[in-house]
Structure 1
Amino acid sequence: MLEPTHQADVVVVGAGVAGLSAAHRLTGQGVSTVVLEAAPTVGGRMATEKVDGFHLDLIGPLLPVSWPELRDAPGLDGLALRTFAPGVLLHSEGRHHRAGAPAGAGGTRGASHVVRALASAPRGVPGPWRPVPLPGRPGGPAGGLPGPFARGAGRQAAAYRGRVGTPLGTAVDQARLSAALARLAATPVTRLLARPELPAARALTLRGLPARTVDGFLRPLLAALLCDPDLITSSRCADLALRAFATGQLAVPEGGAEALPELLARTLPPGTVRTGVRATAVATNAVTTAEHGVFRCRAVLVATGARAAAALLPGLRVPDFHPVTVVHHAVDEPPATGAGLLLDADRGGPVAHTAVVSQVDPSRAPAGRALVSSTVLGPPPPDVDTAVRAHLARLYGAPTTRWETLAVHHTAEAVPVMRPPHDPRRPVRLLAGLYVCGDHRDTSTVQGALRSAHRAASAILADLGTNGSMHRADPLPTPRAA
């Protein structure tokens, strides 16, 4: 037997990023809100495991700092982001090549000037990006990697004389790519969403860029941003991802991915979030739970993952998912890649991208040690750690046999697939009193989760027709002994 039911204006089912963000928008308008989470902690897939002083993300999403939602969403004012070095590092043919993006939307004119200036440059002389030899190789740096722009064009030309090209093509190809990214950064989102829609892999071949530039840079970059190794994602969503990359650096939350949802939960009114409460059924005015009876309310927002949402809301479509595996290694001597995100342009192994993440965010490793986190996209190989170690030895140009494996996290349903046609504004209002949000209702990103939460909260407020609270949220019901 249970205590009598308790009430609130809105009950949110799910304490992931979307549910917590929606709760912030509702409570900020004076609407009493209760967030029910079946797990013992908040965050959902944005989780971090602690092992011997290391902070190990389960998925490790890459967050472009240019996402406005990270600045404007209520509750995220205190979010600390640690940025990677500008652009990315590409590994190709045993060398590292630093690839950057235009600084912002105003870079188009400057990039076009670069194209004209390099039109007569000798083949192989680096342009806006410059190859960087691996440490220990001829011409390699003795310490950390130099910046994205070389000092002394003569030394550059001598170092790379005779090379056929880089993953980005010739200097002219690189400048054209720079101009294309700058134009993309300057294009309004509404125009990107109005473009013809194709699978991203097909759309890349129609952009007028050399095949080497597409295969050596854009494919591995988009695979990392979308968690989609085959690039079956809608080209519109791929353009949005490239635009975000072109307008700002990539980052991770300080302390681990869990820092973002934990900040949202911590800054909600006390008693709003109740963990360990499993919802078994929802209606427009009530949520039934397994152990704590019925919560009656004026509206219900289902903010779980896609599969759990479909279990509560029969008829809701469940998408396919991209699996993600993250392998974490502890090392005593970190590879000399600094705070760069390293991609494999040759696609010669299971690792899609890797980083010495403790160089980006020192709080993720104890003093005197370093954390290397590597992401495998798609189904992992049978002996994933052995395969990853062999691949990392080539990517970093350093032996990995003495690296300590801290964790191998495999998430089968990590990221909802966004095949074309994909609607990034799927309805969040199912009927008056019943709503749904999450990355499966928008784009399959943290940005999409936050944006869908905003849309859902706005719909609820409009339907309630009030900015004032009906009543305060009552304490959590507790089971009574039979």
Structure 2
Amino acid sequence: MLEPAYQADVVVVGAGAAGLAAAGRLTGAGVTTTVLEAAHAVGGRMATEKVDGFRLDRIGQLLSTAYPELRRTPGLDGLALLPFAPGVLLHSEGRHHRAGAQAGVRSARSALHAVRALASAPRSIPAPRRTITALGASGRPAAPHRTRAGAPLGTAVDQARLGAALSRHASTPVERLLARPELPAAQALAARGLPARTIDGFLRPLLAALLCDPDLTTSSRCADLALRAFAGGRLALPEGGAESLPEQLARNLPPGTVHTGVRVTSVATNSVTTAEHGVIRCRAVLVATDARAAAELLPGLRVPDFHPVTVLHHTTDEPPATGASLLLDADRDGPVAHTAVVSHVDPSRAPAGRALVSSTVLGPCPSDVDTAVRIHLSRLYGTPTGRWETLAVRHTPEAVPAMRPPHDLRRQVRLLAGLYVCGDHRDTSTPQGALHSGLRAAAAILTDLGAGRSMHTAERVATASAA
């Protein structure tokens, strides 16, 4: 009887976006791969819960149509991305203002021309402002807003300068962005030459939403990459929920590649040990779990700090009239960082006749978070929320790895020959970073295994002699 010296070329531990992306590249190169996942479904933090016909994302990180790995990763060509309305909707002093809508189509030259034209134009006397009274969760008038003159983006000249800055970001090569001096994002914004009002009223709430970092302690290089994706594309959601992305990757793998409900207890360069099935022999091991689980399997691996995220899902039969817009609070006078009627973006996430409103709270979860969020949402949407039904409140303490400076966006994925690691904690803590990390790890494994040549059929040994 002949038996293989090992059961697979590569064992991938973890069936999140990074591990599945790596598995897709490996199997596409002819390398036999086994993916082991401790949970009973793929996806990791990109999970979607089904409740009474609703599809509720656990974390709901925002995607961008400009993410290059959404095009490069094998298996994602069938992923349906549904975009939000162009730009974002800013709430300030009871009003909604759209911003960033032209970022992906305006050229830096035309935006700069607009700056010069507006700067030389005669100033007009502003019209009197109309006061809007927002309603609280119970339908009574809410607490008054802080009053600030003008729109969140400042003057027309300020808005044109912002458009020029976003256009430059969209066309700047990544290498040039990464060559800039690295600072915390909040400090770097102050040095960009934009008015403080534009920074506080637009860039701060936008970056907080994109990075899940309310204090903007993130590396300015990571913030620049996030702005570049925003300026060059559209914010979007995967149709059917966040889980659609990892499920699409898993479906692209050969049958029998992914095994769920299998807990790995230890790893080596040529084997993994599982609680359910003993030792599985292989030529290489890729640890593709979250950062903390990876450190448990790989002692000495640094565990980063994390940004906690709380997502609340409400439903109503009278949705707010904001359309498919991502709504940010420019005033920052409540717990909600961003919110949207996601069923207007993706109708498959709610039953017919119902609207799904998903809202994100960044940082520590406040006490009685649902009440605080309802009061804030009533101001943001300008409608009573007391009759909205709460579907779920999901708090994830270690939702997103922190990327404070100095942050290496391309941390080593090859620990030693036969042992590799990937995940959003090795690149940027975004779905784009997870995918890119997985593809980098697959490339390193293919190089070490001999440019992608499968070793599984070439290296069988006889364990029993013929009679």
2: distance between equivalents of 1:187 and 1:102? 17
State the AA in 1 paired with 2:41.
T
Map of 1:25 onto structure 2:
25
Secondary structure class of the residue paired with 2:160: helix
Provide the residue aligned with 2:272 in structure 1.
287
Counterpart of 1:253 in structure 2: which amino acid? P
Match 1:402 to one of 387, 403, 421: 387
For the 8 Å contact 1:96–1:132, the answer to whether it is kept is no
Q: 1:216-261: per-residue Cα shift (whole Å, max 9, x none)? A: 0000000000000000000010011011100111001000000000
Return the offset for 1:184: 1.3
| 1:344 has 2:329 as partner | yes
Whole-Å separation in 2 of the counterparts to 1:45 and 1:37:
13
Partner of 2:145: none
Q: Which residue of the partner structure matches residue 144 of structure 2?
A: none
Q: How does 1:184-199 map to 2 (within 5 A)?
A: 184-199=169-184
1:25–1:189 CA distance, 2 compared to 1 (3 A): same
From 245, 256, 272, the counterpart of 1:271: 256
Equivalent residue in structure 2 for 1:415, among 394, 400, 417 = 400
For 1:178, give the aligned amino acid: G
- Please give the TM-score of this superposition, normalised by the length of structure 2: 0.91
User: How many angstroms apart in 2 are the aligned matches of 1:103 and 1:296?
Assistant: 51
Alignment of 1:75-474 (within 5 A): 75-104=75-104, 107-119=107-119, 120-122=121-123, 164-471=149-456
Deviation at 1:81, TM superposition (A): 0.6
Q: Is contact 1:96-1:133 (8 Å) kept? A: no
Q: Partner amino acid for 1:465?
A: G
Gaps of 5+ in 1: 138-162, 473-482
* Cα distance, 1:92–1:106 mapped onto 2, change above 3 Å: closer
Aligned 8 A contact 2:250 2:258 in 1: yes
Report the Cα offset of residue 123 of structure 1: 5.8
Q: Partner of 1:21: helix, strand, or coil? A: helix
Residue identity matched to 2:412: P
Structure 2: runs of 5+ lacking an equivalent: 136-147, 458-467
Does the Cα contact within 8 Å between 2:8 and 2:32 map onto a contact in 1?
A: yes
State the match for 1:35 in structure 2.
35
Aligned in 2, Cα 1:40/1:132: closer, same or farther, shift over 3 Å?
A: farther
Letter paired with 1:254: E
Which string of whole-angstrom CA distances, capped at 9 and with x for unpartnered residues, describes residues 42-78 of structure 1?
0000000001110000000100100111112101010
Amino acid at match of 1:366: P
Q: Distance in 2 between matches of 1:87 and 1:394?
A: 21
Q: Which residue of 2 aligns with 1:10?
A: 10
The alpha-carbon deviation at position 266 of structure 1 amounts to: 1.1
Q: CA deviation at 1:121?
A: 4.9
CA contact (8 A) 2:104 2:170 kept: yes
Q: Output the CA distance in 1 between the equivalents of 2:389 and 2:124.
A: 43
Q: TM-score, normalised by structure 1?
A: 0.89
Amino acid at match of 1:268: L
Q: 1:136 to 1:235 in 2, by over 3 A?
A: closer
Distance change (3 Å), C-alpha of 1:188 and 1:253: same
In 2: Cα distance, 1:5 partner to 1:388 partner = 57
Cα distance in 2 for residues equivalent to 1:400 and 1:78: 37
SS in 2 for 1:191: helix
RMSD: 2.1
Distance in 1, Cα, partners of 2:171 & 2:60: 28
Instruction: Give the drift of 1:267.
Output: 1.3
Question: SS at 2:359's partner residue?
Answer: strand
How far 1:113 sits from its partner (Å)?
A: 1.4
Cα distance per residue 1:320-356 (max 9 Å; x no partner): 0000000000110100000000000000100000000
Tell me the distance in 1 between the aligned counterparts of 2:325 and 2:346.
12
- 2:87–2:103 CA contact under 8 A, matched in 1: no
* Alpha-carbon distance between aligned partners in 2 of 1:222 and 1:440, rounded to the nearest angstrom: 19
Q: Residue 380 and residue 196 in structure 1: after superposition, are their counterparts in 2 closer, same or farther (change >3 A)?
A: same
Please list the CA deviations of residues 376-429 of structure 1 after superposition, one character each: whole Å capped at 9, or x if unmatched. Answer: 000011100000000000000000000000000110000000000000000000
Contact 1:354–1:374 under 8 Å retained in 2: yes
Q: Distance in 2 between matches of 1:203 and 1:371?
A: 36
Give the drift of 1:101: 4.3
